[in-house]
Amino acid sequence: MNFDDALVRFSHKVRARSQAAFINTGALTLASIQSGSPLTGAPGQPVDSGFLLNSWQMFFPSATEIFIATNCAYAPVIEYNLRSAYDPAGRTGRFGVAGGQIGPALPGGSTRRHKSTVGGNHSVALTRAGFQRLVDAANAMGAA
């Protein structure tokens, strides 16, 4: 193998690894938002019907761009942990319990919780803040 051939092979290898890192970064980012990630600390989406979880999709507008988005109308309410029409006074998290029965909602501030036992809020913010760790992990996957 002469030097020219080695250079071509090296170029192809770099291109392949870059492409793998690019795809893996997108996949890790989507996974962090949807299901959570120990790298970013994102909890992932809470699941009731699964509509919100599955509404998060990854698109490729071009060969060098990844677009991750949701068309779920209440996604911002979950992301930002906003009080919503569903929970106008932030009371769903403070149920009284009497005789084993869940009683009426009690006044509460930011102590409410979702019906889901998985996921939480701020997954996009945490994913964005930890994005470099996802990139590092994606690069490590490509190098393995």
Partner 1 sequence: MINHLQALKALRTKLAALAGPTTGTCEYLLYTTVFDTPAWSLNGTPTRSAAAATVGGYPLDLVGDDSGAVSEQGFRNPVFTTAGTKTVKLLVKRSSAYASHYITLSDDVTPAWRLQIAIDFTAATPVVTCPYGTLDSVEAVDTGWRITATSTATGANSHTFSVIPADLATQAAFYLGHIEFGTGLAATATGYTRTAGSFLTDGFAPGMEVTPAGFAANPVSVITAVNATTLTVKDARAVEAVATGRSLSVALPVGRAWENRAYDPTTGSPWIEEDYLPGPMRQTTIGPRGTLEATPQYVVKVYGSAGTGVGGLYGYADALLTLFAPRTSMTLTNGDVLRVRTDPAPYRSQLQQVEPGWAAVVVTIPLRLETANAI
Nearer to partner 1, 20 or 77 (CB): 77
Determine, following the binding rule CB under 8 A, whether residue 113 of this chain makes contact with partner 1.
no
Q: How many residues bind partner 1 (CB under 8 A)?
A: 31
Does the protein bind partner 1 through residue 76 (CB under 8 A)? yes
Smallest gap, in angstroms, from Cβ of residue 49 to partner 1?
Answer: 21
Question: Shortest Cβ distance from residue 44 to partner 1 (Å)?
Answer: 14
> Which window, 37-45, 47-55, 59-67, 135-143, contacts partner 1 (CB under 8 A)?
37-45
| Of residues 38, 37, 36, the one with CA closest to residue 46 | 36
Compute the distance between CA of residue 107 and CA of residue 95 in angstroms, rounded to an integer: 9
Residue 127's closest CA among 9, 15, 34, 64? Answer: 34
Stretch that binds partner 1, among 3-11, 46-54, 56-64, 107-115 (CB under 8 A): 107-115
CA distances from 75 to 28, 55, 79, 84, 122 (A): 20, 9, 6, 11, 10
Shorter beta-carbon distance to partner 1: residue 57 or 111: 111
Residue 73 interacts with partner 1 (CB under 8 A)? no
Smallest CA-to-CA distance from 127 within 55, 65, 36 is with 36
From candidates 1, 2, 4, 38, binder to partner 1 by CB under 8 A: 38
Rounded to 5°, the CA angle 93-96-101 comes to: 110
What is the DSSP secondary structure assignment for residue 102, as one 8-state letter? E
Q: How many CA atoms lie within 13 A of 28 on its CB side?
A: 27
Interacting residue ranges for partner 1, rule: CB under 8 A: 38-41, 76-77, 80-85, 87-90, 94, 106-111, 121-122, 125-126, 128-130, 133
